[in-house]
Structure 1
């Protein structure tokens, strides 16, 4: 099941809601990973917006739940705006801050809200002859900061969204490649027995540093050209 909530909105349209949460990553004494809060917001917004856009939705707004501190609000918004800029969109930002009590660890929630036309929803549209690949490497924690060259860039994600050869895209989260692949198959009424990939199948994908794609075999050359060294085939046994 995809990590997007769909609600009836208007004739032929649905409201789409996606979210991401981050904790113990930031600039507070108790944080496990030390990084500026604008980077935290950038990656959390990346997850929520990639989830939203990958199902065919048009993003409309971002909501922040700031449990860090009131004086971090502008930095958080700056991180979200960077995400939007790399995706080629401009969104209003609203939210709330815990300003009554100090916290010793950073925590942030990001919700992305959008709309999707029923006929444009990109779920369960992968045909049997499709091939699969992972774009980018699954990374988490300090590895995300240490190896930015292994992270699938957002402009590349936008290119894949627009590619006529790509059927479905699923951002890879904390449950790893294999879990997301099984979710994609289930959405298409299929079952896989085994798969192999040069990447670890069960490692956390952290803040969606990689994406699982199903695609038309005839378009493989172009997709490989777009992704370059970030293209990793997923070999499937049926």
Structure 2
């Protein structure tokens, strides 16, 4: 199971949706984490785009639900466009802003729509003898800003997508590395030097499966962000 919705269009093509949301993060008085709204837009777009692109889908359009105010639309879209540039994308953005009710905290929703051909869909394609690793570190809240050099850069994510021998890429969410591992591989014990249950917030790291022959190349590309996973069985 992955955090995307795939809807068949015909025998060869599927329509794909990926979503993320942000709450209590922004510049309202009662927000838990105080950051500018371009930062909110960037990280929300990052998650939705990574979820969609990780299965081999091509993004086609971006949708945003802004519950903050009309005034922050431009800042939010500026952050979204930054994420797109880093992924070498240019997508139309549509959405709506809540302008009737004043909320006490910031809240934003992000949706990406795209398409994938069934023969290029990267779900359940990892062979049994594949190796596994985490690229990036799990970070959440203020740590995303304080330790952003430990977060998987979108440029590196894009490179992983294009690298031969990388079978699947699974963005890690708020439930942590082991939660995503269980969804893909089942409840098998593993070892990794990273905390397995820590939240990765805005997909600050990814779980990857890969051909063992590519490990030296992956280590050279990811450098200190590469964390191998050892299956204890």
> Does the pair score TM above 0.5?
yes
1:233, CA displacement in angstroms?
0.6
- Residue-by-residue CA offset, 1:152-205 (whole Å, 9 max, x unaligned): 0000000000010100000000010001111121xxxxx452101010000001
SS at the partner of 1:111? Answer: strand
**Which runs of no fewer than 5 residues in structure 1 stay unpaired?**
186-190
Q: How does 1:114-153 map to 2 (within 5 A)?
A: 114-153=114-153
Instruction: State whether residues 7 and 15 of structure 1, in contact with CA within 8 Å, keep that contact through their aligned partners in structure 2.
Output: yes
> What is aligned with 2:3?
3
Alpha-carbon contact 2:182-2:188 (below 8 Å) kept: no
1:40 aligned onto 2:35: no
User: Is the Cα contact below 8 Å between 1:135 and 1:230 reproduced in 2?
Assistant: yes
Mapping 1:49-64, distance limit 5 Å = 49-64=49-64
- Given candidates 221, 228, 238, the residue that maps to 2:223 is 228
Deviation of residue 11 (structure 1)? 3.6
Cα distance in 2, alignment partners of residues 169 and 118 from structure 1: 17
TM-score, length of structure 1 as denominator length? 0.96
Unaligned runs of 5+ in 2: none
Q: How high is the TM-score relative to the length of structure 2?
A: 0.98
CA contact (8 A) 1:52 1:58 kept: yes
The residue number in structure 2 matching 1:176 is: 176
Task: Give 1:163-202 correspondences, 5 Å limit.
Answer: 163-185=163-185, 191-202=186-197
Rounded Cα–Cα distance in structure 2 between residues aligned with 1:46 and 1:200: 22
Aligned pairs, number: 233
Runs of 4+ with >2 A deviation: none
CA distance in 1, matches of 2:19, 2:10: 22
